[in-house]
Amino acid sequence: QVQLVESGGGLVQAGGSLRLSCAASGGTFRTYSMGWFRQAPGKEREFVAGVDWNGGIINYADSVKGRFTISRDNAKNTVYLQMNSLKPEDTAIYYCAARSSFYPATAVAGWNTWGQGTQVTVSS
């Protein structure tokens, strides 16, 4: 079973950028599709971005298209989320997720393993 550890969260002003990282261990990373989700206070966890096993298929939530970029480095067992032009409404705990499939899904229920989350706060 793969384990996931996120890093890179923090406090940033609106319009700024952050890069989240998710390091995987304990599994064959290249056999998993990877995703990022977020959960704001009082709201349900929502899909942000997903990438297939080799980076060939990438999905984004409409709310982040053109601002966020997901990528993966299979040699380093790591997936990234570059977040640009951040808005206060992007404030949430961001979770990395792994799915035992070559292809990503947008539903929370479709993912097998979750990281502990990293807080992202965007001030106005």
Q: For the segment 47-63, what is each residue's pLDDT rounded down to a tens digit?
A: 999 999 998 999 999 99
Determine which helix (DSSP H) or strand (DSSP E) holds 99, and give its type and residue range: strand 92-99
CB 86 within 8 A of CB 122: yes
Distance of CA 81 to the CA centre of its chain: 6
pLDDT digits (tens, 9 = 90+) for 14-28: 999 999 999 999 989
* Position 74, amino acid: N
Cα separation of 13 and 57, whole Å? 31
Q: Helix, strand, or coil here: 109?
A: helix
Q: What is the mean pLDDT of the chain?
A: 96
DSSP state letters, 18-53: EEEEEEEESS-GGGSEEEEEEE-TTS--EEEEEE-T
Q: Percent of the chain at pLDDT above 70?
A: 100
Q: Helix, strand, or coil here: 63?
A: coil
From the number of C-beta atoms within 10 Å of its C-beta (0-12, 13-18, 19+), residue 43 rates as: exposed
